[in-house]
Amino acid sequence: MLVTDTSNALPGGSSLLRNEPVQARSSARLAGLLDAAAAVIDEIGFERLTTAMVAERAGASIGTVYRYFPDRIAVVEALAARCTQRLGARFVESIEASGATTWEQGADALVDMTIEMYRTEPGFRAIRFGDVDDGTDAPDSDRMALLGGSVATIFRERFGFPDSARLATAWEVLAEAGHAVLARAHRRRGATDEALITEYRTMTRTYMRTVLAEV
């Protein structure tokens, strides 16, 4: 399953949730809890987040939080999953909107869209995706691998890239590296380090050209 196939809340059957939302009201309540967690994380970072803070910000009882999440780590992990899902869902949109005709332009469009996520998606800037893990081998637990597979599919269909496990792995590597570099470039709100972003664009093109020459 591609990241682009998942919902904006959490995928059905996710191991992150104690109880799956089965009605629209329950889904809205879950989304509200994640929105509240994102707002708090933007303010103080995910290390200091507590379930009580999530409940207070969402205007919900602590019991409502525990209905879905066993602890604060599960909240952070679920928010990271949602952010990654939204990122993947916007990959296709960003390439279509850019009018890219070459894979290099497509890669730049993905970088631009990811930068926009850092600037506008609540909680995205503060979460370090590699630091939270639900401890399972569920299909949706390796988010960077899912992102890599999504991008590999998009570039195969849009730009004629070969169907290659090596390319999927390469995109996963770029997703991991991109998160590290772009998170650092946005570590201070309103003061983006454009030099780091420029170097990441160069690295993406150079690395992908090398991989393409070998597959």
Q: How far apart are CA 121 and CA 8, in angstroms?
A: 12
Domain boundaries, the chain: 3-214
pLDDT given for residue 91 in this prediction: 85
State the Rg of the chain over Cα: 18
Instruction: Give every CB contact of residue 58 below 8 A, 6+ residues apart in sequence.
Output: 32, 33, 35, 36, 64, 65
> Which pair of tokens denotes residue 78?
């679920």
CA 150 to chain CA mean position, Å:
12
Question: Considering all CA atoms of the chain, what is the largest pairwise distance in Å, rounded to the nearest integer?
Answer: 56
Tokens 């209905």 locate to: 67
pLDDT given for residue 4 in this prediction: 31
pLDDT given for residue 5 in this prediction: 31
pLDDT given for residue 134 in this prediction: 47
pLDDT given for residue 211 in this prediction: 96
Q: How far apart are CA 115 and CA 118, in angstroms?
A: 5
Nearest to 85 by CA among 120, 121, 60: 121
Q: How far apart are CA 198 and CA 208, in angstroms?
A: 16
CATH top class, domain 3-214: mainly alpha
The segments of the chain whose pLDDT lies below 50 read 1-15, 22, 130-132, 134, 136-140
pLDDT given for residue 13 in this prediction: 41
Sign, CA dihedral 212-91-41-8, equals negative
Residue 20 phi/psi, 5-degree rounding, is -80, 135
213 neighbors 146 (Cβ within 8 angstroms)? no
* Entry pTM: 0.73
